[in-house]
Amino acid sequence: MVWVLHAEPETGSVFDPARGFVRLIEPLAPAPGEPVLTKTAHNAFTTTGLQQILTSRGIGELMIAGIRTEQCCETTARLAADLGYRVTFVIDATATNPIAHRDAPADQTVEQLLSDPRTLPASAVMERTEYVLAGRFATICTMAELTAQPVR
């Protein structure tokens, strides 16, 4: 397994490592020898040595899980497919937030975001990701489907 964290140094955002949020969440912990990479791009390849790690280990198939279904996870899946990897996207092992409409005020409250009928709910974001990736960039599966498969 390869672990990937997203960082935006010196931005003051929640992704600024100085704020202490860019870390693995308990009880997640890499096993000995599992790389932990920190990326600064939306995908896990561009600003890391991920492709070199995968190539050196002879890995040709990826399973994608993580936070920001439509952003980091989907972008990584698309790039991985373009690079020739077989990609499985574990949809219910990803998470995201509702997305505000492009014309919504930047300073709106959470209540305003959620009450705006133009807001795209997280469930719709995930459904859209399934539609755009399936059969093009990835095989979509759930954790139940993944765990029901025989171990290879």
144's tokens: 């139940």
SS3 of the chain: helix, strand, coil, percent, to 5? 30, 20, 45
Alpha-carbon torsion, ordered 40, 100, 14, 11, to 10 deg: 60
Q: Which of 62, 64, 72, 73 is catalytic?
A: 72
Kindly report the pTM of this predicted structure. 0.90
Contact 64, 77 (CB under 8 A): yes
Active site residue 72: yes
150's tokens: 């025989």
What value, to the nearest 5°, has the Cα angle with vertex 51 and ends 139 and 76?
A: 40
- What is the structure's pLDDT at 149? 75
- What is the structure's pLDDT at 152? 62
Residue for token digits 């990826």? 62
- CA distance linking residue 32 with residue 92, whole number of Å: 26
For the chain, the domain total comes to 1
102's tokens: 């492009």
60's tokens: 């040709």
List of the chain residues with pLDDT < 50: none
Domain carrying residue 9:
3-148
pLDDT digits (tens, 9 = 90+) for 17-31: 999 999 998 888 999
CATH number at residue 18: 3.40.50.850
